Structure 1
Amino acid sequence: MGRHSLPEDSVGPVHSPRQDPTGSRSSARRRAVAISTAVVLALATGAALVLRSELLGPMKSCSNDAVRLGVAASPDIAPALREVAERARSTHVRSDGRCLDVKVTSRVPYEVADALGDDSRDPGFQVWLPDSSVWVDRATSSPAKSVPLDTLGGVASSPVAVAATPSAAKRLGWPQKKYSWARLTGAATGDEDLRLGAADPARSATGLLALARVNASIAKESGGPGKGGGADTRAAAAAKLLSQRVSDGDDQVLTTLPRDDSGAEAGNPRRNQALFLSEQAAYRHNAAAGGAPRLQLFYPEDGTAELDYPYTVLNDDALTTVRARAATRFMTFLSDTRNRRILARHGFRPAGGKAVEEVTRTAGGKAPQPYAVVPASGPSGAELETALGMWTITVQSARLNTVVDASASMAAPVPGRSGESRMAVTKASLLRALAQFTPDDEIGLWEFSRQLDGARDYRELVPTRRLGLRDADGSTQRDRLTAAFGALEPVPGGATGLYDTALAAYRKARDGYAQGKFNAVVLLTDGSNQDEGSISRKALVEELGRLTDPNRPVPLIAIAVGPDADLSACEDIAEATGGSAQRVADPAQIDSVILKAIVSASRTGAEDSG
């Protein structure tokens, strides 16, 4: 693959760009941009009078009448945005006839995403520019998040790749040899013995997107999850391997590289030889490498993901019309040719992912590596949740008591599933969920109906033990659970003893709390409490609140299956324990909901302990 020409309206040279001339032609062009932008904004808002004042009113001084806009930006793009903001000030860029004064602060995206639901404080900014839409999705997906977010589009991009030190890259055959994500990760467990590091996928979009691509690549090469090719086992092994060389964030992972590429430093087992890294991060490292080895990039041949830098406006009650238009004006300003050159000089591709030759070359990309292939659409939300769920239960082993409704209503058919019952689809989903857990995770199984075991509404089918634990006959806990899940059947005529079961399961999990693990009760029901002699809902919630210990958290994750499940009761029960509740129309969604709930509860627990 030869060198590629830049598109006609692209960023052009990235080093030492010339300053714009101050002549009339440049001024006219700037005015034309401002006028066209004002027209668009005025039409969009119906503010014709604002447009008139923009075009005909006197040019006021910027010192006392500027419209101020706060932008919270991912640390990698914040320096470039500050440069653009300074250019906006120096050239008197205006919105509604007032100068635009943009203050850019550097904010870690995952921290902003988790903090946006706090209504008790002003976030201090009106525009959020994280490195990935992953964080916008996180901020909007939780019921606790109350700030409306409007994404107006991406302002830059950077593909996620695998960066290697020169000696490691040479051993892997760079640049001629191409790899899939699965084979690059496999190099860390095979004969190459590659020391591969990553930023924590729970805190880094780069780490999470790479992990999702690894999982998809492994599944494809193994014939798909659950197809007998060992995809789930291989994916869990890859996550386990990465977890042993994980860093808190993107900047921290770069510090794990050797300070030089020869002698003892390069051979130090505590130093990584390769990293999941964005092209922009590799560009920044190589541009300031000094004595450190310059990184060389592998672009996986089965497609990469990209950071898309979504320009997101906090559209809450505090956002005035003036600031809303100023936010749109600044995004328009970001897209002009000069500012795209500024972004490229900081190592970014334009929005859309088209390669910039000089950026790629400085970052360590070289043909025939497929760096010029524009990244396709990223992993789906479900794929990301699965990857993060697997990561969570790999890094922090889980202890779960699974409690499944076996009342007669579980025999009802699921719409659109050719007569399959709720129980049949639930069992298949639970088996898929089970495949995501490692041998160190502890899982047990209860079923419940009404008076299922004498006077008790519940019955323990498999005690909670380590999945890898073997019995005298050689069978494992995983084997026992697989068989028990498969044997679940609705109880003919059985009612739903929800409240007593929830209390008993919570007490059992609390008494069996395992330090250092993620402890939880996962309760699935498709109905409402039908045991008139049970504890009342109010008393149940009060008792669960009394039993909850913040130093030994055991969230209850309640899943309401189908339209007849009492979601309100599930929410009250879960909330009392610090857990969560969600309704699923199709029981086939249960496995993904369980993983998502584990991720959410683990994140909340980490914040509370912090």
Structure 2
Amino acid sequence: MGRHSLPDGLRSGATGPRRRARRRRAALATALALAAAAGAVGAVRGGLLPFGSNCWDNAVRIRVAAAPGIAPALEEAAEYARDNDVTSDGSCVDVDVTAREAYEVTDALRSEKRKDAAYEAWVPDSTVWVNRILSDDTSIPVTPAGTVAASPVGVAMVPSAAESLGWPGRTYSWSELAGAATAGDRLRLGSGDPTRSATGLLALTQLAHSADGAEDGDTRTAATAKALSQRASATDGQVLDTLPRDLSGTEQGDPKRNQALILSEQAAFAYNESADSGDALDLFYPKDGAPRLDFPFALVDESSLSTDESRAALRFMTLLGEREGRRILESHGFRTDDDDVPDRLIAQAGGRAPQPYGELPADPVEDKEVDETLGLWTITVQSARFTTVVDVSASMSKPVPGTDRSRMEVTKGALVQALGSFTSEDEVGLWEFSRRLDGSRDYRVPVPTRRLGAFVGDSSQRERLSAAFRALKPVPDGATGLYDTTLAAYRTATASYTKGKFNALVLLTDGVNQDPGSMSRSDLVAELRRLSDPERPVPLIAIAVGPEADRKELSEIAGATGGSGHLVTDPSQIHSVILKAVVRAGNRD
């Protein structure tokens, strides 16, 4: 792992919340022993125990960027390390902690204009930020080393709102809590912006997961995202400022003030600890599981660190997993052991039995789910104008391996599913193409792009699109007129650009251009570049369906517009790919 290896046993988060205290202590002891065996001096000689003030003659300074919620705890741990001459390989560990929002650090690490990294270590509030860096090969690299604490995410409420929902005796799923928040003004629910707040992102992902499988699940999730977007704050710290200043006073009726917040247990703990008597929040723990912030510890640009720096940073991480480190973390409202959560922590955070505060999701959130949620949020918050261009050539009748359905049948199902993610304010239309489908043209427009809530005759745009998607069928012996169709659709999309919305063209094809009379690919790319305007962006999201499609070609074509090309082996993946592509396009703006 890079130039300076981590001690064995620290790779998988040995310092995170413990499943078994004894197992964790044994793992830590093994890790330190292996570190010594790997070339470091022994535990005592190497300064794993305090050994006197002379260690300050060659102290190693480590700069740590930390999420604002955990920064005070890390500052206290750093002070403890200084006061007690905690050492690494005989040198005192001098840790300087700076509170920085995780999204700010992420943006800085991904910036093309960056210089050297400003920190040797980073402790964001969630692994989702680390994964975002790991998936971007242009970023300053980070090296995950473990996790140092945890905090589940729930819904904190002012006492009157909690009482109206039956707290603490009544429990709710995420969908049920979201339903209460979207049913008129019954519950004014605030959240951190999921693009900047891991708390908001994980909660919205869990909401989507909770609604998955329901007949109207996508529509319900989109409605929840829309409701949250109207009360979203940039950060978790700012969302706390939206509560009434006096939880028992007249401000509770102020429609601008929130009655409930999506909040981590630790954030509720910290708020309640500083609140006046009677102003504490009550905390609902959803019965279908609370996602959690996991506070990973990562080295920043490890290859540029000296051996002393990398080992001193890891020494600080191991300190957080020792008795005094755990005590400090728990005193600030963090969990350090899944099997032994202090009663005081739960009570101070606003939890009380029979709220299921011990229930955590069985599996951690996947990157795919995060991308889908971010894509949904982008579309919902900004509103979208999408024109969908679907290949109806003969090859779309081929079966999808492992199923008894054709590419077209599965594609239609995916498009109908995606339609449920859009709100009435979004604009969506449909083109279909083959070769010479409408006279000399390779395409036709069954449903022009309009607002989904608009009516044409007795039918809404949503109803017309749903019917048109289901009516799509391959043209017998139809070839693929890809280039001419792409250019015509892109010209129309850019000419009808709607300011204030996320404009995009979505192209679905399972083949390559089969029109010998069309322009060349290089001419198409050049013309798309000419039409593309960074001030009025319309990215082309090109999706190759099946093995005959050329992803490389589609990526080149889409890249000319600031868009992206994708390959799906199963058309049912189309919905997820569209949302992922929206995130990618949004990050480029």
TM-score, with structure 2 as normaliser: 0.88
Paired with 2:508 and 2:459, the residues of 1 have a C-alpha distance of 27
Q: How does 1:85-96 map to 2 (within 5 A)?
A: 85-96=78-89
Paired with 2:171 and 2:28, the residues of 1 have a C-alpha distance of 47
Confirm or deny that 1:439 pairs with 2:431: no
Query: Which of 509, 512, 515 pairs up with 1:525?
Result: 509
Aligned to 1:151: 144
Aligned to 1:79: 72
Residue by residue, what CA displacement relative to the aligned partner does 1:341-365 show, whole Å, maximum 9, x if unpaired?
Answer: 1011111111547522111111111
Structure 2 residue runs of 5 or longer lacking an equivalent are 1-17
Contact 1:180 1:301 in 2 (8 A): yes
Contact 1:159 1:305 in 2 (8 A): yes
After superposition, the Cα gap between the structure-2 partners of 1:451 and 1:33, relative to the gap in structure 1 and judged at 3 Å, is closer
- Segment drifting more, 277-286 vs 501-510: 501-510
Query: Which of 544, 554, 558 pairs up with 1:570?
Result: 554
Aligned to 1:590: 574
Contact 1:260 1:291 in 2 (8 A): no
Q: How does 1:159-558 map to 2 (within 5 A)?
A: 159-190=152-183, 193-219=186-212, 224-225=213-214, 227=215, 230-290=216-276, 293-314=279-300, 317-350=303-336, 352=338, 354-418=340-404, 420-472=405-457, 474-558=458-542
Residue by residue, what CA displacement relative to the aligned partner does 1:514-555 show, whole Å, maximum 9, x if unpaired?
Answer: 111110011122223333333333332232222222221111
Confirm or deny that 1:47 pairs with 2:31: no
Paired residue type of 1:74: A
Q: Helix, strand or coil: the match of 1:163? A: strand
Contact 1:35 1:55 in 2 (8 A): no
Paired with 1:35 and 1:271, the residues of 2 have a C-alpha distance of 50
Contact 1:38 1:95 in 2 (8 A): no
Residue by residue, what CA displacement relative to the aligned partner does 1:428-459 show, whole Å, maximum 9, x if unpaired?
Answer: 11111111111111111112233333333332
Q: Helix, strand or coil: the match of 2:181? A: coil
Paired with 1:347 and 1:100, the residues of 2 have a C-alpha distance of 25
After superposition, the Cα gap between the structure-2 partners of 1:372 and 1:340, relative to the gap in structure 1 and judged at 3 Å, is same
Paired residue type of 1:460: V
Residue by residue, what CA displacement relative to the aligned partner does 1:244-295 show, whole Å, maximum 9, x if unpaired?
Answer: 2221110111001011123421211111111111111111111111478211
Work out the percentage of aligned pairs sharing the same amino acid. Answer: 56
Paired with 2:219 and 2:364, the residues of 1 have a C-alpha distance of 23
After superposition, the Cα gap between the structure-2 partners of 1:441 and 1:191, relative to the gap in structure 1 and judged at 3 Å, is closer
Paired residue type of 2:120: Q
Query: How far did residue 66 of structure 1 move?
Result: 2.7
Structure 1 residue runs of 5 or longer lacking an equivalent are 1-5, 11-28, 606-610
Aligned to 2:122: 128
Q: How many residues align?
A: 567
Residue by residue, what CA displacement relative to the aligned partner does 1:342-389 show, whole Å, maximum 9, x if unpaired?
Answer: 011111111547522111111111122222335533444444333333
Residue by residue, what CA displacement relative to the aligned partner does 1:110-152 show, whole Å, maximum 9, x if unpaired?
Answer: 233344333542232232221112222333335x544444323
Root-mean-square deviation (Å): 3.0
Paired with 1:491 and 1:317, the residues of 2 have a C-alpha distance of 56
Paired residue type of 2:503: N
Paired with 2:310 and 2:397, the residues of 1 have a C-alpha distance of 53
Contact 2:154 2:284 in 1 (8 A): yes
Paired with 2:303 and 2:442, the residues of 1 have a C-alpha distance of 49
After superposition, the Cα gap between the structure-2 partners of 1:87 and 1:491, relative to the gap in structure 1 and judged at 3 Å, is same
After superposition, the Cα gap between the structure-2 partners of 1:554 and 1:180, relative to the gap in structure 1 and judged at 3 Å, is same
Paired residue type of 2:115: R
Paired with 2:189 and 2:297, the residues of 1 have a C-alpha distance of 32
Contact 1:259 1:292 in 2 (8 A): no
- Segment drifting more, 401-410 vs 587-596: 401-410
- Segment drifting more, 200-209 vs 157-166: 200-209
Q: Helix, strand or coil: the match of 1:370? A: coil
Aligned to 1:140: 134
Paired with 1:431 and 1:34, the residues of 2 have a C-alpha distance of 51
Q: Helix, strand or coil: the match of 1:124? A: coil
Contact 2:146 2:297 in 1 (8 A): yes
After superposition, the Cα gap between the structure-2 partners of 1:316 and 1:517, relative to the gap in structure 1 and judged at 3 Å, is same
After superposition, the Cα gap between the structure-2 partners of 1:587 and 1:9, relative to the gap in structure 1 and judged at 3 Å, is closer
After superposition, the Cα gap between the structure-2 partners of 1:531 and 1:92, relative to the gap in structure 1 and judged at 3 Å, is farther
TM-score, with structure 1 as normaliser: 0.85
Paired with 1:70 and 1:478, the residues of 2 have a C-alpha distance of 53
Paired residue type of 1:416: G
Paired residue type of 2:489: A
Contact 2:191 2:239 in 1 (8 A): yes
Paired residue type of 2:433: F
Paired with 1:423 and 1:268, the residues of 2 have a C-alpha distance of 51
Query: How far did residue 586 of structure 1 move?
Result: 1.6
Residue by residue, what CA displacement relative to the aligned partner does 1:169-190 show, whole Å, maximum 9, x if unpaired?
Answer: 2222222222222222222344
Contact 1:161 1:298 in 2 (8 A): yes
Contact 1:41 1:325 in 2 (8 A): no
Paired residue type of 1:152: A
- Segment drifting more, 529-538 vs 388-397: 529-538
Paired with 1:64 and 1:529, the residues of 2 have a C-alpha distance of 70
Paired residue type of 1:284: A
After superposition, the Cα gap between the structure-2 partners of 1:450 and 1:60, relative to the gap in structure 1 and judged at 3 Å, is farther
After superposition, the Cα gap between the structure-2 partners of 1:52 and 1:449, relative to the gap in structure 1 and judged at 3 Å, is farther
- Segment drifting more, 161-170 vs 560-569: 560-569
Residue by residue, what CA displacement relative to the aligned partner does 1:552-602 show, whole Å, maximum 9, x if unpaired?
Answer: 111111112233322222222222212222222221111011012123323
